[in-house]
Structure 1
Amino acid sequence: MSENRTSRREYLTVVGSTAVTLSVAGCMGGGGGGSDENEVVAGTAPGFPPFEMKQDGELVGFDIDLLEAVIDETEYTLASWKEFEFKSLIPALTNDNIDVVAAGMTINDERDQTIDFTDPYYSSNQAIVVRAEGDFSPGSLSDLSGHAIGAQKGTTGESVVQEQLIDGGSLDESNYNSYGNYVLAVEDLQNGNIDAVVIDQPVAETFAAQRPVTIAFTYETGENFGFGVREEDDEFTQALNSGLAAVQDGSTYQDLTNKWFGQQ
């Protein structure tokens, strides 16, 4: 990352739906906030390390660096970042408050009915995280029955809890706790308020390296992350796909993977 780009991000990063917006419509006729038709505004949901998080007040992470690198390969310019809770990102996109979502968002049929996605840029499974020094050591989803379980609202982890456990009858809905972000979920786990968190594997590995929690087991979902875009923004989507291919074909993608996940 260049010093110019970092300083621009520090200046333009804004918090939540109260973010500063510009008076001129954004790219593709949307309200994202760019002053030029080729300027775009990106949305993310901090609290999902190492994909997006806050460090010393600055928005950082794999998704942040990757999207900036991808856009640098296009004729578009990144005007600013806006921060939301994860569940609010798709409404923000469809309401033209932002132009692209970069938030470790899994490509699935339900979301694809409302928005489009770029080509995938990362693959993941779900991990079940417990306290490192705790007595609870589950080895399968069925072992979560009767325990207090947490996940982030609107995520694949929440879908696993709902579809595999609650709908299947092995977990009472009162034992499920949803959170605005995974930092809050892991803090509740550390404090003993819940017994396990269902979370994307690379994020779980980051928490396990930094906090007294550990991965009990992995539940394979074979999900792929993509950048979210509006359905009608075909030209922009194609540009992002071309930019992503250029980043992946060169050394930048591997450099960012090494930076945020360690040597792969």
Structure 2
Amino acid sequence: MAPPPEHHKKRTIKLPKPPIRRRSLLLGTAVLGAAGALGTAGCSKVPTGDTLARLKSQRTVRLGIAGESPYGFINDQGDFTGEAVELAKVIFKRLGIGNVQPVATDFSSLIPGLNAQQFDVVSAGMYINKERCQQVIFADPEYQMLDSFIVRKGNPKGLHSYQDVVKTKAKIATGSGYAEIDYAVAAGVPEKELVILQDPVAGLNAVESGRVDVFAGTALTGRDVVKKSRKAEATKPFAPLVDGKKKVDGGGFAFRPTDSELRDAFNVEIHKMKKSGELFRILKPFGFTQAEMTTLTAEELCK
């Protein structure tokens, strides 16, 4: 869920070997255990050549997903769904590819798996950043995202930014591998003082019980997880500061560098959907708001 940062200046988070961040991950670890870990995709080799033509001929495209809501996951009915999966179904059908085959793997294996031809495209709402753009090519983002805090009702410590957390010496938690780790450290929170929890539900429980003052995540995560809480609320979305500038992240589909024709055809369709409003209609059921629709481009985010 959490967004991928660039390194901040304040403590130039050029950490010697930065800890793995789930959504800010570059290469990650090795692709999960071959055929068993990657499901039906296995370790089959993909022919080289015109990928778009091949996929049309096969009538099937394999989507690398990370099993993460709301991007690509298995719902209570056992079906693959999510904003990226549903968007892929529409766009690839219009490109003449009627069948999408989601391949669930660990987030850290998405880029290695794509380049190892375990699947044809990454469909996981992956954040677009400079480091990733050196490994894959991206379609323009389908959404943009800000951060938000889960805090006690009334926000007693007045926490609206990572700088507020430092000033008030609030106890902050975030998720394992979240980009918010980097944002907090960049603002001056000692990394050893960060509480790392399994997921936003654990974060909500920690805030409600008073174990921590704040749980940091994306705006989408925050407003979703507090819906039924009587003790906690989500703060207004905000943009973390990166090198003194507000940082807005965007997520999109990733393709192999050799598949620019496929990426370009995908881009044509996604821009049509942005213009018509269809894109928002697909993303809205998964918790996205109009404010999270974007005109950012992959080129901008790659810089």
TM-score (norm 2): 0.65
Q: What is the DSSP-based 3-state SS (H/G/I as helix, E as strand, rest coil) of the residue aligned with 2:216?
A: strand
Alignment of 1:1-264 (within 5 A): 17-21=37-41, 25-26=45-46, 28=48, 39-49=60-70, 51-56=71-76, 57-132=78-153, 137-145=158-166, 146=169, 147-153=171-177, 155-162=178-185, 164-165=186-187, 170-178=188-196, 182=200, 185-186=203-204, 194-211=212-229, 213-220=232-239, 221-250=247-276, 252-261=278-287, 264=290
The whole-number CA distance in structure 2 between the counterparts of 1:257 and 1:140 is 27
Deviation of the 1:132 alpha carbon = 4.3
The whole-number CA distance in structure 2 between the counterparts of 1:231 and 1:179 is 35
Call closer, same or farther: CA 1:246–1:173 in 2, change over 3 Å: same
The whole-number CA distance in structure 2 between the counterparts of 1:82 and 1:184 is 27
Call closer, same or farther: CA 1:24–1:46 in 2, change over 3 Å: closer
- CA displacement 1:31-80 (0-9 Å, x = unmatched): xxx8965632112223333x334321333222221121111121334441
Call closer, same or farther: CA 1:230–1:64 in 2, change over 3 Å: same
Question: 8 Å contact 1:116–1:229 — kept in the other structure?
Answer: yes
Call closer, same or farther: CA 1:142–1:172 in 2, change over 3 Å: same
The number of aligned residues is 240
TM-score (norm 1): 0.73
Call closer, same or farther: CA 1:215–1:93 in 2, change over 3 Å: same
* 235-244 or 38-47: bigger deviation: 38-47
Deviation of the 1:211 alpha carbon = 4.8
Call closer, same or farther: CA 1:201–1:263 in 2, change over 3 Å: closer
* 229-238 or 83-92: bigger deviation: 83-92
- CA displacement 1:183-230 (0-9 Å, x = unmatched): 555565556554433222123222232556422343312222211112
* 40-49 or 120-129: bigger deviation: 40-49
Call closer, same or farther: CA 1:198–1:92 in 2, change over 3 Å: farther
The whole-number CA distance in structure 2 between the counterparts of 1:16 and 1:157 is 32
* 188-197 or 110-119: bigger deviation: 188-197
Call closer, same or farther: CA 1:111–1:55 in 2, change over 3 Å: same
Question: 8 Å contact 2:143–2:252 — kept in the other structure?
Answer: yes
Call closer, same or farther: CA 1:110–1:123 in 2, change over 3 Å: same
Q: What is the DSSP-based 3-state SS (H/G/I as helix, E as strand, rest coil) of the residue aligned with 2:234?
A: strand
Call closer, same or farther: CA 1:91–1:262 in 2, change over 3 Å: closer
The whole-number CA distance in structure 1 between the counterparts of 2:60 and 2:97 is 6
The whole-number CA distance in structure 1 between the counterparts of 2:209 and 2:48 is 46
Deviation of the 1:151 alpha carbon = 3.0
Question: 8 Å contact 1:126–1:201 — kept in the other structure?
Answer: yes
Question: 8 Å contact 1:26–1:39 — kept in the other structure?
Answer: no
C-alpha RMSD of the superposition: 3.4
